[in-house]
Chains A and B, each alone.
Chain A
């Protein structure tokens, strides 16, 4: 406040002492309209400039006090030729800050360059739009749930212009039809929801008359402290937009107590200024819209889609009162053909800059446009001044990363939601890098598997241990075969025994003899087979420790064979001679004993060999 007063003083002093070098131009009519209906204050000036001097003038200066200029988000000027019915086309005037050397620092000068010079005696109509943020001060600063917000707005009834103004007027539009207090100067009228100051005539340059309006406003004051907007382009047909909001209620702060009962029972009395929902206007054909925050999906949202827009109404998890914050993320996909175009050899993305939400003031907007990998010659054209930089984002199947353009702006208002372009070059062949990479990856994996299966990874084929191993395997195989043969011989012995039992039951000698004959031939075959195997074993050096046992086994087995055959013949003969059972047993007994002993030994040897 004290700096404000100081500025006023300086301004008054300045207005007296500043030499009227710019007094060639005279503003014949100035109408100012200040719109206080939302948190963003919009000032529209309609001025008619006349060149009373002799030299042609190429630019028109606008001045704002420093405290206002710091909060100036947007300044635009449009000039129209002619007056009344013969109005010509409107042309935008480029505006830049042009501070003359002898101006005090508390006054900021903006120069709007005219399309063609204004000659002597000519006049021009100019429409100026100035958008200010954070100029409404809540007063009282802390309110309870039941009170309504009151704001303080300070400005000057006379527009601080470097030129003399013949006639000027000011209209202040309030959000509702009630006002707490306002400065009453001459020619002040309050009707409906508008306060009219003026008309004031023949005012000198830099005249200033402070005006304070104290009014109630329960419009939602949604301020996004930080908005990070990521636009990712995929040439496979989708533009994915992800927006991270960090929102605070920018009105009068709440004292702390919140009664849900009061809020639900009488919402418009208790909690009139609360933010209950936010409305976002997304472009048409937006799909896959999600709304979540750090702890999960938020289900209180509605989507109304039609052919011209997609209206998303989202409710934060809790209604927001003054000073309350919340954070959430909104994401949606857009079809690529609506936003990506080709111009000559370059492609460009044409998409809106700001937040799609209605009436949200963004204090820090960071916009990231992620272009596909392989994009070159990137340039951004935004219709208003921004801060640009480049970085790299790594995403799926990226090798070098995707080039990302980062655009930052402070104090973004809904008027900034214009289209901007990002130009880049991308060859059509680069589109194939990702599928080719995947194909090569899988291909090399399969080829490697094939090679691995067919390759021989033995380190050396002529080392002694390798040869020894091979020989030992051979020996084991041979022993296995011998074992098989001996087992089969034992089976035949069992058959012979069985035939003897049959004989004892049936007395069929012929059958028994036949069995013996077949057994005989088989046993002879087996002994033939075992001979080469034994030869191998004898020749192999590895089998040296096994060989005596094996030979013993073979010998014993042969013995057993002979004994069994002997017994068999004896029994058969005695049956032929029809001798008694006891005789048979007596004769066979001795042989039988030897047989049983031999059998035991053979079994032991077999077990021993198996253990090896």
Chain B
């Protein structure tokens, strides 16, 4: 708070202050009446405007224009609702398990995943184990009600690497790995017939890398040609012999009359005609999106010819412990 007496400086300044004060007095003398006048003028100005306000309400727009504007606003609100419902139905309601496509004859529904899980749940034994890549683990557990080897929790990297190694190995080695895990069914997702891009061949690089990270006999360069994973005629023999390739493309070439054109990779496949020796196909869904194979049981007898050769190789395998092509599970 400013006190009139407090802030007065020393004596030297006071005569100036007096002058200033007297000047101010004169000025304020002149100003005060003018200020008073201004105040009065302000008051007079305010009064007529208040009067006008109290007499007539201000109409900014004419009646017809305002009704039209209201109608447009309602229309906008209605259209907003329609748009929101459409956006929610089309863009935000895409469950990744049921795929739809609009064709010229209406809506085409791809319910392959649930078809495969329903088949597994009703037509396999309760204790049968299903091996697939970990993406489908929880779905298989929940909908097919079967035990899986690896699921979306991904807490055991070595176990995932085991499955990845099995998928990247040739048939016999893969069979050995899966048999040691007591697996009965192997599930692969294949999008080549309908053009579904999130299938297991596109995820194959991860199977190789994760498997190779734990098991040194899986080397990524074995599967690469010019730094790329390929499945066409330029693919490496390791790739064409891997279990994932074989399970995905088994008899695929017969669907389009001998060409075997993969719609996702947009090329014809490399190895077209081959047979499965250790696995048999037990189910493929309507659009070939999920393919389920069963491990064939071991043969009871080994033919006489291979008996002798087996005894020969039993001597030769022991010094070969240093080589890297051995199955790690032996």
Q: A-side interface residues toward B, CB under 8 Å? A: 256-261, 265, 293-296, 298-300, 317-318, 323-327, 494, 497, 500-501, 504-508, 580-582, 585, 588-589, 592, 596
B213 to chain A, nearest CB (A): 35
Q: B-side interface residues toward A, CB under 8 Å? A: 1-6, 8, 11, 14, 17-18, 21, 24-25, 28-29, 32, 109, 111, 114-115, 117-119, 121-123, 143, 251, 254-255, 280-286, 288, 294
Contact B251 A261 (CB under 8 A): yes
Task: Indicate whether A299 sits within 8 Å of B111 (C-beta atoms), given known contacts A324-B123, A326-B122.
Answer: yes
Task: Indicate whether A585 sits within 8 Å of B281 (C-beta atoms), given known contacts A261-B254, A317-B111, A324-B123.
Answer: no
- CB-defined contacts of B109 to chain A, threshold 8 Å: 299
Could you say which of A265, A318, A325, A494 contacts B115, with CB atoms under 8 Å apart?
A: A318
Name the residue of chain A whose CB is nearest to the CB of B21: A504
Whole-angstrom CA separation of A317 from B283 in the bound complex: 12
Count of A-B contacts with CB under 8 A? 90
Whole-angstrom CA separation of A259 from B21 in the bound complex: 111
Contact B283 A258 (CB under 8 A): yes
A257 to chain B, nearest CB (A): 5
A509 to chain B, nearest CB (A): 12
- CB-defined contacts of B284 to chain A, threshold 8 Å: 258-261
Contact B25 A318 (CB under 8 A): no
Contact A326 B118 (CB under 8 A): yes
Contact A260 B143 (CB under 8 A): no
Whole-angstrom CA separation of A257 from B283 in the bound complex: 7
Contact B119 A256 (CB under 8 A): no
Contact B111 A497 (CB under 8 A): no
Whole-angstrom CA separation of A14 from B143 in the bound complex: 58
Please classify the interface of chain A as helix (H, G, I), strand (E, B), loop, or mixed, using the class held by over half of its residues: mixed
Whole-angstrom CA separation of A505 from B24 in the bound complex: 6
A312 to chain B, nearest CB (A): 18
Could you say which of A258, A318, A326, A501 contacts B4, with CB atoms under 8 Å apart?
A: A501
B238 to chain A, nearest CB (A): 26
Chain A CB within 10 Å — which of B5, B255, B286 has the most? B5
Q: What are the 5 A-B residue pairs with the smallest beta carbon separation, nearest first?
A: A260-B284, A325-B122, A317-B115, A501-B4, A506-B28
Task: Indicate whether A505 sits within 8 Å of B28 (C-beta atoms), given known contacts A327-B122, A582-B14, A585-B8.
Answer: yes
- CB-defined contacts of B8 to chain A, threshold 8 Å: 585
Whole-angstrom CA separation of A381 from B282 in the bound complex: 48
Whole-angstrom CA separation of A326 from B285 in the bound complex: 15
Whole-angstrom CA separation of A504 from B283 in the bound complex: 106
Contact B24 A317 (CB under 8 A): no
Contact A506 B4 (CB under 8 A): no
Name the residue of chain B whose CB is nearest to the CB of A260: B284
Contact B118 A317 (CB under 8 A): yes
Name the residue of chain A whose CB is nearest to the CB of B8: A585
Contact B118 A293 (CB under 8 A): yes
- CB-defined contacts of B281 to chain A, threshold 8 Å: 257-259
Contact B5 A325 (CB under 8 A): no
Contact B143 A585 (CB under 8 A): no
- CB-defined contacts of A296 to chain B, threshold 8 Å: 114
- CB-defined contacts of A299 to chain B, threshold 8 Å: 109, 111
Whole-angstrom CA separation of A293 from B119 in the bound complex: 12
- CB-defined contacts of B5 to chain A, threshold 8 Å: 585, 588-589, 592
Given A500-B4, A505-B24, 10 further pairs, Cβ under 8 A: A257-B282, A260-B283, A296-B114, A299-B109, A318-B283, A326-B122, A504-B4, A581-B14, A589-B5, A596-B6
A490 to chain B, nearest CB (A): 10
Supply 15 A–B pairs (Cβ within 8 Å), ascending by A.
Answer: A260-B283, A261-B254, A295-B114, A295-B118, A317-B115, A318-B119, A318-B283, A323-B123, A326-B118, A327-B122, A497-B4, A582-B14, A585-B5, A585-B8, A592-B5
A591 to chain B, nearest CB (A): 9
Could you say which of A260, A300, A504, A589 contacts B288, with CB atoms under 8 Å apart?
A: A260
Contact B280 A497 (CB under 8 A): no
- CB-defined contacts of A327 to chain B, threshold 8 Å: 122
Task: Indicate whether A497 sits within 8 Å of B3 (C-beta atoms), given known contacts A259-B281, A318-B118.
Answer: yes
Contact A494 B21 (CB under 8 A): no
- CB-defined contacts of A507 to chain B, threshold 8 Å: 25, 29
Name the residue of chain B whose CB is nearest to the CB of A591: B5
Name the residue of chain A whose CB is nearest to the CB of B114: A295
Name the residue of chain B whose CB is nearest to the CB of A316: B118
Whole-angstrom CA separation of A508 from B25 in the bound complex: 9
Could you say which of A258, A508, A581 contacts B21, with CB atoms under 8 Å apart?
A: A581
Whole-angstrom CA separation of A296 from B139 in the bound complex: 13
B220 to chain A, nearest CB (A): 32
Whole-angstrom CA separation of A457 from B17 in the bound complex: 71
A440 to chain B, nearest CB (A): 37
Name the residue of chain B whose CB is nearest to the CB of A498: B4
Contact B122 A258 (CB under 8 A): no
Whole-angstrom CA separation of A588 from B111 in the bound complex: 99
- CB-defined contacts of A588 to chain B, threshold 8 Å: 5
Task: Indicate whether A256 sits within 8 Å of B14 (C-beta atoms), given known contacts A299-B109, A317-B114, A589-B5.
Answer: no
Name the residue of chain A whose CB is nearest to the CB of B283: A258
Contact B118 A256 (CB under 8 A): no
Task: Indicate whether A506 sits within 8 Å of B29 (C-beta atoms), given known contacts A260-B284, A501-B4.
Answer: yes
Name the residue of chain B whose CB is nearest to the CB of A595: B3
Contact A256 B114 (CB under 8 A): no
- CB-defined contacts of A500 to chain B, threshold 8 Å: 4
- CB-defined contacts of B251 to chain A, threshold 8 Å: 259, 261
Contact B1 A494 (CB under 8 A): yes
- CB-defined contacts of A325 to chain B, threshold 8 Å: 122-123
- CB-defined contacts of B6 to chain A, threshold 8 Å: 592, 596
- CB-defined contacts of A501 to chain B, threshold 8 Å: 2, 4
Task: Indicate whether A260 sits within 8 Å of B286 (C-beta atoms), given known contacts A293-B118, A317-B115.
Answer: yes
Name the residue of chain A whose CB is nearest to the CB of B109: A299
Contact A295 B117 (CB under 8 A): yes
- CB-defined contacts of A294 to chain B, threshold 8 Å: 121
Task: Indicate whether A318 sits within 8 Å of B114 (C-beta atoms), given known contacts A256-B294, A500-B4, A505-B28.
Answer: no
Contact B286 A265 (CB under 8 A): no
Could you say which of B32, B143, B294 contacts A295, with CB atoms under 8 Å apart?
A: B143
- CB-defined contacts of A497 to chain B, threshold 8 Å: 1, 3-4
B253 to chain A, nearest CB (A): 10
